[in-house]
C-alpha cells in the first residue's frame, strides 16, 4: 500500500485543502517496460490549476477521484526495463503518490552528480526550458533593450532575468514581497525591482524603472500588472504570454482594457506559448542551460516544503506567491 493525493472536488476560485484527499492504494506488480519508483521531489506548478477545471485547455482536465499528476523526480527501486537501473533517479510526469509502478516511456534518467536533483524540476526542467524558449524564440531581446518580467521571483522569472542580463539587457522585475525584491536585486542583480503590492502607482514605477520604455515583456501573471506594463511598450515590442497566474482562480470572465489598440500603435507582437511546443528542441535548450549552470552563470533557488502530505498546501501557496523560485516538495 502507498499514499496518493487525488482531486476530490473541482476548485471554485482559489483551491482549498478540501479539494484534495489522501488515500491508500495498492501497488501493482512491475511488468516489462516498467519500473517501481519512490518519489523523491515533487513539483507544484501554477498550470496544474487549469487542469483542475472541467474545461478544455491545452492539456486534458484531471478527473475527479484520480491522482494529481505533475513533474517529479523519483528513485528506481525495482526495474523491468533495460537502462533503468535500481538506484538511479528519473524525472517525468508522476502521480502524486509516494511509491508507484509506472511505464518508463516518458521518464528520463537524471544524474544527481551533475546538478542537485531539484534542478531537474527547475532550471534544468520545465521552468528553465520555458524561460529559455519563451525569451530566446519569442522575446528575442537585443543588447541594450529593456526586458520587464512579471512573476519575477518565480520558477521561470528568475531564469528569464539571468538570461536577459547575459544578453546585455536592462532587466526590470515585478514581484510581490520585499524579501523577493531584496533577493532579486541583491542575488540576481536585477537592474530594478518593483514590489507591486506596496507601490501606489505601478505605471509610474515602471516608467521610472524603464526610462527607455519596454521592449520585451515576459508575462507570468496577467491582470492589472500587465496593463501597467503594456501601457508603456515601445514600437516593435514583444510580449511573451507564459502564464496568467493572477487570473487562474477567476470565477467569471476577467475584464480589462482592450490591448489591441496598443499593439496596433506600437506594431507589437503578443504570443502565447507552452513549453511543450518546443519538445523537439528540448535537448538544445537543456544543453544551453546546462552549460550556463555549469559555468556558474546561472543561479537557481527553490522554496522547499518537506513531506508528501504537504503537496496540496504547497500548491495552494503558489497563488499567494509564498514561493521564491521553484516551489518543490521533498518527501
Three-state DSSP class for residue 224:
helix
Nearer to a copy of itself, 97 or 150 (CB): 150
Q: Give the chain's length.
A: 331
Nearer to a copy of itself, 251 or 260 (CB): 260
Instruction: Read off the C-alpha cell for 90.
Output: 528519473
Window 232 to 291, contacts with a copy of itself (CB under 8 A)? 235, 241-244, 247, 253-274, 277
207 binds a copy of itself (CB under 8 A): no
Q: Please tell me the count of residues contacting a copy of itself according to CB under 8 A.
A: 36
What is the rounded distance in angstroms from the CA atom of residue 131 to the CA atom of residue 331? 27
* Nearest partner of 97 among 45, 20, 11, judged by Cα: 20
Measure the CA dihedral 60/65/68/73, to 10°: -130
57 binds a copy of itself (CB under 8 A): yes
223 binds a copy of itself (CB under 8 A): yes
Nearer to a copy of itself, 45 or 99 (CB): 45
* Nearest partner of 220 among 147, 315, 137, judged by Cα: 147
- Cβ–Cβ < 8 Å for 78, 99: no
Nearer to a copy of itself, 137 or 309 (CB): 137
319 binds a copy of itself (CB under 8 A): no
13 binds a copy of itself (CB under 8 A): no
Least separation in angstroms between residue 250's CB and a copy of itself is 9
Per-residue CA distances from 245 to 14, 79, 83 (Å): 11, 38, 39
105 binds a copy of itself (CB under 8 A): no
Binding residues (CB under 8 A) for a copy of itself: these are: 50, 57-58, 219, 222-223, 226, 235, 241-244, 247, 253-274, 277
Amino acid at each position: 500500500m502507498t499514499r496518493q493525493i487525488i482531486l476530490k472536488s473541482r476548485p471554485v476560485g482559489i483551491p482549498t485543502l478540501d479539494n484534495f484527499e489522501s488515500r491508500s492504494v495498492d501497488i501493482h506488480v512491475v511488468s516489462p517496460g516498467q519500473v517501481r519508483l519512490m518519489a523523491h521531489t515533487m513539483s507544484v506548478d501554477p498550470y496544474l490549476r487549469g487542469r483542475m477545471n472541467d474545461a478544455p485547455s491545452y492539456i486534458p482536465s484531471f478527473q475527479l477521484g484520480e491522482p494529481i499528476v505533475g513533474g517529479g523526480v523519483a528513485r528506481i527501486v525495482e526495474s523491468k526495463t533495460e537502462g533503468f537501473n535500481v538506484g538511479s533517479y528519473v524525472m517525468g510526469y508522476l502521480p502524486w503518490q509516494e511509491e508507484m509502478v509506472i511505464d518508463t516511456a516518458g521518464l528520463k534518467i537524471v544524474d544527481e552528480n551533475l546538478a542537485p536533483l531539484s534542478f531537474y524540476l527547475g532550471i534544468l526542467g520545465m521552468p528553465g526550458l520555458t524561460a529559455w524558449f519563451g525569451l530566446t524564440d519569442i522575446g528575442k531581446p537585443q543588447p541594450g533593450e529593456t526586458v520587464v518580467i512579471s512573476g519575477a521571483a518565480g520558477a521561470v522569472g528568475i531564469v528569464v532575468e539571468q538570461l536577459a542580463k547575459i544578453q546585455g539587457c536592462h532587466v526590470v522585475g515585478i514581484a510581490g514581497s520585499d524579501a523577493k525584491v531584496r533577493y532579486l536585486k541583491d542575488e540576481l542583480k536585477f537592474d530594478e525591482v518593483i514590489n507591486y503590492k506596496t507601490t501606489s502607482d505601478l505605471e509610474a514605477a515602471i516608467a521610472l524603472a524603464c526610462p527607455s520604455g519596454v521592449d520585451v515583456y515576459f508575462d507570468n501573471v496577467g491582470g492589472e500588472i500587465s496593463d501597467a506594463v503594456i501601457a508603456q511598450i515601445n514600437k516593435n515590442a514583444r510580449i511573451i504570454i507564459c502564464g496568467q497566474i493572477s487570473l487562474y482562480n477567476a470565477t467569471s470572465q476577467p475584464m480589462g482594457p482592450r490591448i489591441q489598440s496598443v499593439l496596433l500603435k506600437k506594431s507589437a507582437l503578443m504570443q502565447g506559448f507552452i513549453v511543450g511546443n518546443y519538445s523537439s528542441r528540448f535537448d538544445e535548450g537543456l544543453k544551453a542551460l546546462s552549460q550556463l549552470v555549469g559555468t556558474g552563470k546561472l543561479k537557481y533557488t527553490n522554496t522547499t516544503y518537506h513531506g508528501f502530505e504537504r503537496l496540496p498546501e504547497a500548491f495552494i501557496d503558489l497563488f499567494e506567491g509564498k514561493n521564491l523560485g521553484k516551489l518543490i516538495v521533498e518527501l
